[in-house]
A and B are shown apart, each in its own frame.
Chain A
Amino acid sequence: MNRMNDALELVKKLRTFLPAESVLHETEDVRPYECDGLSAYRQTPMIVVLPRTEDEVAGILKVCHALKIPVVARGAGTGLSGGALPHPQGVLLSLAKLKNILGIDPAGRTARVQPGVRNLAISEAAAPYGLYYAPDPSSQIACSIGGNVAENSGGVHCLKYGLTVHNILKLRVLTIEGEILEIGGNGLDAPGYDLLALMTGSEGMLGIVTEVTVKLTPRPEKAQVVLAAFDDIRDAGNAVANVIGAGIIPAGMEMMDKITTGAVEEYVHAGYNIEAAAILLCESDGAEEEVAEEIERINEIMRQSGATEVRTSRDEAERVRFWAGRKAAFPAAGRVSPDYYCMDGTIPRKNLASVLAGIEALSAEYGLRCMNVFHAGDGNLHPLILYDANHPGELELTEEFGAKILGMCIEAGGTITGEHGVGIEKINQMCSQFKTGELEMFHAVKAAFDPESLLNPGKAIPTLRRCAEQGAMHVHRGKEKFPELPRF
């Protein structure tokens, strides 16, 4: 069928209930939607729609369902795995105009918001009540709560306060048929299967989130951070284990390697020791007395673990400055290199030293620098591979390097993605992490919600054919061989 005619036909149908400015189809109008935060993948959508209400979203879905047109949801477009990459024959459904905070209930400690509301806007609205929304991705000034739900986003505080899945109570979700599902509830649990968990992290493939009720958390009385420097990255890794082994769950625990501290120090002057092989940031929050007690213990553990330097933030300004460096890690990468590629594997922490050594070896092999920032408390690695897209072939080399890092994460007993999602980016690595039967079950789950596969088709779960073709289904958790492919 002719894409042009399809588009015009669809535009006509949509404009029967949407104002003209909510339906974009001219190339220059749809171009801004061609990629998300992973700009290596680009695709202009056939049409972009910008509904203003849940009813309009339902109307759009009904039309697309009737005409069998793929629908890709988009929040703020900060995703790092190409999850919101448009479909060439599809509708890009932007939720950006659904951006109202519908209500804050300070006594019940919840907020009811539309999907396009920015993550940070929720905490800002809750601040007068001494409350905040705990998950804080680094992108929180920009990313939407709908996107957070779709990716199960985390932040630097999630070891103690949980991921998105731990901090939401209820969703309103539209199915591809345009039917509303109320998932979860105003209590702490809901009858039947835990569809709230299933929806969280489902990357826009099961339904469109049109409303989110989040839990709000009381602001701790006080927070303080310890900054420790190590001349061996293994000591830093052991320090993390020692803190946790001592029964402390820090509010945040982040590690940066030497090349990272060098890059950020030049940029924000956080006061890091740039000679150190690695630095650790370890935060304590809670009641005044509690923080004092915990900070003292953390100091002691850092020293015993071989830290060459240990400093504690003396006031709020210094705490913010210590964190500023960590928060500037991505932009700093952007300053020292024309392009960078952010990976997101998670590993059991005990394998940190060997995985980092492996990354270093690969870095030498590929001739590409790699910065390591690490959510150390929960084992989530963010290697940033530095490259230059203008050098022919360098992007391909970078992707190959990245794929090998993910392979190491799987072998180390971890996973290819801790919080950024599979999207289009890691779809091939899914073939290595899961067996045929498991992938089939994922497809079956999708089919239970979206039998015709119209919602974000081709993302997150590879087809078995794709896996067979790339021949990547070799090792599964270090032991099993890829079993016979039943289909071909």
Chain B
Amino acid sequence: MQEIVDQLAATIRAAAASNAPLCIRSGGTKDFYGQQDKGRDGGSGSILDPTAYAGIVDYEPTELVVTARAGTPLMQLETELNSRGQMLAFEPPHFGTGATLGGCIAAGLSGPRRASAGAVRDFVLGVRMLDGRGDDLSFGGQVMKNVAGYDIPRLMAGSLGTLGLLLEVSLKVLPLPAEERTLRLSMNEAEAIETMNRWAGKPLPVSATCFCDGELTVRLSGATSAVRAARAVLGGEEIAENSSFWKSIREQANPFFQSGKQLWRLSIKSTTVPLSLPGKQLIEWSGAVRWLSVDAEMDNEAVQALVRKAARDAGGHASVFRSQTPAPAVFHPLPRAMMNIHRRLKEKFDPMRIFNPGRLYSEL
């Protein structure tokens, strides 16, 4: 396995020496996500594929920690955890059968359980990585509590491969809930937002929420007794397709996500009242995420201005999640002082700017 690391490091060093960009791609299930990686001169960088560096390094269920190589297929990792009664609690989307652990951490995307259990970054405990000089560095560790040194492991989550190549990741894992049930209630959008937030303020085992088309769907997870008690309090009808429904939301297979020409994600304060924006919306995370599907007639520029303002006014940000036509700026623009810090961090991790230039922001 070390030969693979040596080879990857040599590739990075050569790229840095010749100032040639690299596109980190574990196979590309999330190619659609982020800015079109154009390289710095408009030309595509050569592909750096770490998928050969795969496999679980260490997993002891009673420690609640798993360490795996970045190329490990997400499916394999989750199957192994499930077989020992545990899970990745952030319920990551795969967006395809070949998703890897590295891609999952670098993309930083969490699924329906996020509002109750936490995000990818909340579970990252340690990383081993190659920086832009090809140096092999380890930060954090395999223990739950660790404040030695800055929290670089969590910084890597969601950095879209722009700071370094992940080699190994240690994650906190949690037990699978003993029981899960899904309920459905009919109501309008304003009522749904109010209801989801009210539930979140009570000690209820709500593990996921989704509102679309006048229907609020809610998942309960936990001890059998807790789920049973909560089911009586919440009301509504139980639906049979418990796991397939949430999978269709997580993987965006649900028809809503395929309906428009552009899919926006607004991450905002959960109590924000219904947003009046052109297109259709689907709400998740107790109101903290509003998906907006925009149809073909709308003008990109006009939508962008409207959506970004709405997100900002609601204390959050908006990104273009999928688009049939290239979107000019995918991620929410950063204030100047914040961009300065981002640029300086990028410079420290990747001085020659070879990793995924422009995928997150054109300046990085």
Q: Which residues of A come within 8 Å of B, CB atoms?
A: 105-109, 129-131, 151-152, 154, 158-159, 162-163, 165-166, 175, 179-183, 185-195, 197-198, 200-202, 206, 218-221, 241-242, 244-245, 247-249, 286-290, 292-294, 346-350, 375, 378-380, 413-422, 426, 430, 433-435, 437-438, 441-442, 444-449, 460-461, 477
Contact = CB atoms under 8 A, between A and B. Distances in A.
A461 B151 CA distance: 13
Nearest to A461: B149
A187 B62 contact: no
A192 B333 CA distance: 9
Nearest to B330: A191
Given A109-B200, A350-B60, A419-B145, A191 B269 contact: no
Given A192-B338, A445-B348, A418 B226 contact: no
A287 B225 contact: yes
A105 B271 contact: yes
B143 A192 contact: no
Given A181-B341, A286-B226, A348-B142, A151 B150 contact: no
Contacts of B205: 286-287
A165 B201 contact: no
Nearest to A110: B269
16 contacts: A108-B269, A108-B270, A129-B201, A180-B337, A185-B315, A186-B269, A191-B334, A219-B203, A348-B63, A349-B63, A350-B63, A380-B144, A413-B143, A419-B145, A460-B149, A477-B138
Contact of B146 (A183, A247, A415): A415
Given A186-B268, A247-B175, A292-B225, A191 B145 contact: no
A201 B121 contact: no
Contact of B332 (A191, A206, A419, A460): A191
Contacts of B146: 346, 415, 417-418
Contact of A414 (B119, B139, B143, B157): B143
A430 B319 CA distance: 39
A189 to B, nearest CB: 5
A241 B62 contact: yes
Interface in B326-353: 331-332, 334-335, 337-338, 341-342, 344-345, 347-349
A244 B155 CA distance: 28
Contacts of B131: 437, 441
Nearest to B228: A289
Given A294-B223, A441-B139, A448-B344, 16 more contacts: A108-B271, A182-B335, A182-B338, A188-B115, A189-B267, A194-B159, A197-B154, A218-B201, A244-B64, A247-B85, A346-B146, A348-B143, A413-B142, A414-B141, A445-B150, A445-B152
A288 B228 CA distance: 12
A197 B149 contact: no
Nearest to A189: B267
Contacts of B141: 413-415
A201 B203 contact: no
Interface string B36-49: 00000000000000
Nearest to B84: A245
A411 B139 CA distance: 16
Given A187-B317, A293-B223, A421-B147, A166 B62 contact: no
